[in-house]
Amino acid sequence: SQKIEQNSEALNIQEGKTATLTCNYTNYSPAYLQWYRQDPGRGPVFLLLIRENEKEKRKERLKVTFDTTLKQSLFHITASQPADSATYLCALEADTGRRALTFGSGTRLQVQP
Amino acid sequence: DTAVSQTPKYLVTQMGNDKSIKCEQNLGHDTMYWYKQDSKKFLKIMFSYNNKELIINETVPNRFSPKSPDKAHLNLHINSLELGDSAVYFCASSRELGIEQFFGPGTRLTVL
């Protein structure tokens, strides 16, 4: 069966360090993968999309990698700040054509000042 | 403000009642969605509409009926509410199906 796995344990890091979050998937062949941020009591906010033919994508302090062989995406936040504390969700297209996104359960990031 | 808005923010009701949640987007997007986020924080697609046409209808009980009067609105009507319907419901929209979705603030539904 299709599965998206994100580390359910919270990630605690010190301000200024690089946070790395992992998204692993099985039985998907996604054309692209997306990352969203969700703060408590709010809706998810789109951050980045990376396509299957892209190895890496950057946006300001954010970097996403996509390895279709390993079936894994890594999400990095460099020079992390307490304001980066949130839950980060990865999302994949469930099956090509329908464009229905399936979300992972998210990893909570806590950046300590 | 350009955004996706939902009303109400909170909805507390008794089992068996019928309720509606409204969603509006002023982003000019063609596609709108309804998601359910349960207590374990899994976000699951329920429906998507593209240009007022139903595109995705996941295995959702037929007590749930979406209605799209125009491209900017997608309302969710729920009949005969059950305890298991308690969750946060998010509306979202996007310019293109599946990609870069903008989410509303959510409606927390509590069925007693």
Give the pLDDT of residue A100: 77
The reply to whether residue A49 touches residue B99, judged by beta carbons under 8 angstroms, is yes
Beta-carbon contacts of residue B35 (< 8 Å; ≥ 6 apart): B43, B44, B45, B46, B89, B90, B91, B92, B103
CATH of domain B4-111: 2.60.40.10
What is the DSSP annotation of A34-62? EEEEE-TTS--EEEEEEETT-SEEEETTE
Residue-number span of the structural domain to which A9 is assigned: 3-112
* Residue range A5-52, pLDDT digits in tens: 998 789 999 999 999 999 999 988 888 899 999 999 999 999 999 998
Q: Kindly state whether B41 is in contact with chain A, defined as any CB-CB distance less than 8 angstroms.
A: yes
Q: Are A22 and A105 within 8 A, CB to CB? A: no
* Residue range B20-37, pLDDT digits in tens: 999 999 999 999 999 999
Mean pLDDT, rounded, for B46-60 = 84
Closest partner residue to B40 (CB to CB) among A44, A46, A105 is A105
DSSP state letter for B96: B
Which domain CATH number covers A43? 2.60.40.10
Closest partner residue to A46 (CB to CB) among B56, B100, B106 is B100
Ranges of beta strands (E only) in chain A are 3-6, 11-14, 19-26, 32-38, 45-51, 56-59, 62-67, 72-77, 86-93, 101-103, 107-112
Q: Please name the residue of chain B whose CA is at the shortest distance from the CA of residue A105.
A: B42
For chain B, the average pLDDT equals: 92
The reply to whether residue B99 touches residue A43, judged by beta carbons under 8 angstroms, is no
Cα B63 from Cα A68, distance rounded (Å): 39
Bridge partner residues of B37 (DSSP): B43, B88
Cis check for the bond before A113: say yes or no (omega within 30 of 0).
Answer: no
- In angstroms, the separation between the Cα of residue A86 and the nearest Cα of chain B is 13
* Residue range B81-100, pLDDT digits in tens: 999 999 999 999 999 877 89
